[in-house]
Structure 1
Amino acid sequence: MATLPHEMTIEILLRLSVKDLLRFKCVSKTWCSSIDDPDFIKLHLSHSVKTNTNHSLILRHCEYHFFSVNYDSLKTTQRLNHPLGEQKTPMKILGSCNGLLALIDDNGRIFLWNPSTRKSQVLPSTEIEFSSPSIFFPRSTYCGFGYDPISDGYKLVRMVQVHGKNNSYLHSEAKVYSLRSNSWRRIKDFCFYLSFYREFGFLADNALYWMVLKTPQSGNKSLVGFDLGTEEFRFVELPDSCLNKRFCMNMKAMGGYLCLITTYTEFNDDVVDIWIMKESWIKLISWKKSESILGFPIVIPLAFSKSGDKVLFSIALHKFVWYDLGSKRVENVGIRGLPSSFDVDLYVESLVPLTVML
């Protein structure tokens, strides 16, 4: 029986889902070797990102139940077994990148998990290199996870800061974990203030972003980015129209871009603006209360449709809608098996391993 040329076989395999590829590894030693090849894994990931295929939503319900929903169909949920299995240990998703999820439990343990291959590993622990002068002094911990194309490796950033009385600054430190070396190292300290107990950064354009304060007394949030290649922090300007309004501001990453969600009151109407950062800030959507659903609950943009003319939103942590950018119409999305409430993230299904690809 004639066989296909190797190059043609690879082109076919690139278009398959991770589930199919894992099954087809049993076809032959050649196929198994090809699918496990680091170059093929990178090509398959690149093809999925460019064609906006092999994406899924991941839902977290009641802190330790995880579900996935295929983004192409948005029809039904599938139960996932997270790294701790059936243990009812609360876990949060602190970041998602190239099919790898970074999770953190209530004890501060951090895991890397590929839901598609069902592989996971716990990161080595690292001590905080300063002692708190008092157990009553609050401590803030900010984390983020992403990929550095310069070193071709995955990094996790952890910032810790202790606050004294009246929000006076006491001490801070920043560390980076590298999957390539499987170790932590301390980097240059940061010159801003962490305003919450725990926050997770959003990945866009090879950088991680958080909302911080420039001074402890500052009433306005500032946006700071961490370049995963240079490992430098920098402040990012917010849209001019956001500076003079009283609003609630949140962030998200969508389509590889940083996304800003602002909620405010204008002429007795509640308004939600969705901004996206390309070369500069662009207002993508502006909703008024009369146009919204359920009178403006929590509104989270998740992803563009394949055609780019719609945006998928999570509404009030319990339902999904499509928003048509042209007609400005809203369409409910019915998904079978959806839990009553959930946190949600988008991830690309991939073969990326938890070991270094040489």
Structure 2
Amino acid sequence: MESLLHDVVENILERLSVKSLLRFKAVSKQWNSTIESRYFQEKQLKHRQQSGDPDVLMVSVCPYDVRNPTIESLRTLQLGSSSTVKIPTPWEKENIWYLVSHSSCDGLVCLYHPHKSGYVVNPTTRWYRPLPLCGFQKLMNDLGDGYNKLGHKFFRLGFGKDKFTGTYKPVWLYNSLEIGLENATTCEVFDFSTNVWRYVTPAAPYRVFAYPEPVYLDGSLYWFTECEEPKVLSFDLHTETFQVVSKAPFDNVDPYNIFMCNLDNRLCVSEMKWPNQVIWSFNSGNKTWDKLCSIVLDVMFDSTKICAVSPLALFDGKKKKKSKLMFCGQFNLYRISLLCFFKI
């Protein structure tokens, strides 16, 4: 009977917010053990994902033309609310801007910096794990201003999870020839068990675009290849191998006008051709791209001040079919981001 009662309690607990669960860990050793278990955490996360629209995590970045900015590292915005909640972080006092990996994973996000240590963060529980410098960052630091003179771009950090072992993996994939390395690309993966970055060989068979963010979906990370006809390249986080998934539905592109994202657990790509930006969804069954929607941009933006907008999420928790797209547009001139919503 006691076991049955705890099963009932467990079903109630998985419907609570993380903030409440953190308080209830103090009720008993059994409750603490349940709440700390991976099995329960996966159930609670799944229930939260199915129960409504996602929260928005906002990361403060520093415009290069602003002197002595005051930076708030993290804030969350609940959809349907006009107010945000500040998340205090121990590194905020350093007043350093961080980039954020485009994909979150089980509520975790990865913050990183070109020249400094990064963090894997759980914004809800305030847990974080520092990341040491990888070889790519050390090389940039050693070269200093000479790095930019080589014409080598800054590549984005990917973050995802091995879906078989549950291991989280930050991944840095970058082109190598310009910086004196032998291979077309170099891949580094962070190992949480040893707290070191290690090289993966062979790395990607194709050079990749630096600007579009890598995207995580179902155990793999994805990049665009730097080709006249761009391909979508995947990296399996379990086997740590690369393969080409499909040709992208566009060619001869400006890398600042294309984007890749995970919308409702679907791999999506998009291209901006002013005044429209079309979003395609990948059909893994027949390896084709289905047109999801087309956003008319000139009703909201000036063509001279915007890169391709960033689709973030499909939502509308009250309906079976998610019919609203949330995206972010960034103004080049002012480096200001604007959250927008589009009905599809």
Other structure's SS at 2:92 match: coil
Work out whether residues 26 and 32 of structure 1, in 8 Å CA contact, stay in contact via their aligned partners in 2.
yes
Alignment of 1:58 with 2:57, yes or no, is: yes
Q: Tell whether 2:67 aligns with 1:68.
A: no
Paired position in structure 1 for 2:231: 222
Q: Against the structure 1 CA distance between its residues 3 and 96, is the aligned structure 2 distance closer, same or farther, given a 3 Å change threshold?
A: closer
Give the structure 1 partner of residue 292 of structure 2. Answer: 284
Instruction: Report the CA distance between 1:99 and its aligned residue.
Output: 1.1
1:184 aligns with 2:193: no
Cα displacement string for residues 225-276 of structure 1 (whole angstroms, at most 9, x for unaligned residues):
2111221112232454x237889212222222222121115xxxx2211112
| Cα distance in 1, alignment partners of residues 92 and 137 from structure 2 | 32
Residues 113 and 163 from structure 1, CA distance in 2 versus in 1: closer, same or farther, beyond 3 angstroms?
same
Q: Which moved more, 1:132-141 or 1:221-230?
A: 132-141
Partner Cα separation in structure 2 for residue 177 and residue 78 of structure 1: 30
Gaps of 5+ in 1: 326-358
**Kindly tell me: are residues 148 and 262 of structure 1, through their superposed partners in 2, closer, same or farther at Cα, counting changes over 3 Å?**
same
Name the structure where helix makes up a greater proportion of residues: 2
1:259 is the counterpart of 2:268 = yes
Task: Please list the CA deviations of residues 310-355 of structure 1 after superposition, one character each: whole Å capped at 9, or x if unmatched.
Answer: 2122244543333222xxxxxxxxxxxxxxxxxxxxxxxxxxxxxx
Asked whether the equivalents of residues 234 and 245 of structure 2 are also in contact (C-alpha less than 8 Å), the reply is: yes
AA of the residue aligned to 2:82: K
Alignment partner of 1:93 is 2:112 = no
Aligned equivalent of 2:259: 250
Q: What SS is found at the alignment partner of 1:97? A: coil
Identity %, equivalent residues: 24
C-alpha distance in structure 1 between counterparts of 2:187 and 2:3, whole Å: 54
- Measure the CA separation in 1 of the matches of 2:74 and 2:120: 17
Distance change >3 Å, CA 287–CA 163, structure 1 → 2? same
Counterpart position of 2:323: 309
Say which SS state the counterpart of residue 98 (structure 1) adopts.
coil
Residues 288 and 209 from structure 1, CA distance in 2 versus in 1: closer, same or farther, beyond 3 angstroms?
A: same
1:271 aligns with 2:255: no
Shift of 1:15: 0.7
The letter of the residue matching 1:236 is V
Q: Name which of structure 1's ranges 199-208 and 133-142 shifts more when overlaid on structure 2.
A: 133-142
Question: Does structure 2 retain, via aligned residues, the 8 Å contact 1:301–1:311?
Answer: yes
Q: How many residue pairs end up in the alignment?
A: 310
Following TM superposition, by how much is the alpha carbon of 1:131 offset from its aligned partner in structure 2, in angstroms? 7.8
Q: Offset of 1:283 from its aligned partner?
A: 1.0
Amino acid at match of 1:252: C
> Counterpart amino acid of 1:203?
Y
Given the alignment, which residue of 103, 110, 116 partners 2:118?
A: 110
Q: Which has the larger share of strand? A: 1
Counterparts of 2:269 and 2:139 in 1: how far apart (Å)?
36
Of 286, 294, 299, the residue aligned with 2:301 is: 294
TM-score by length of 2: 0.77
Query: What is the Cα deviation at residue 10 of structure 1?
Result: 0.5
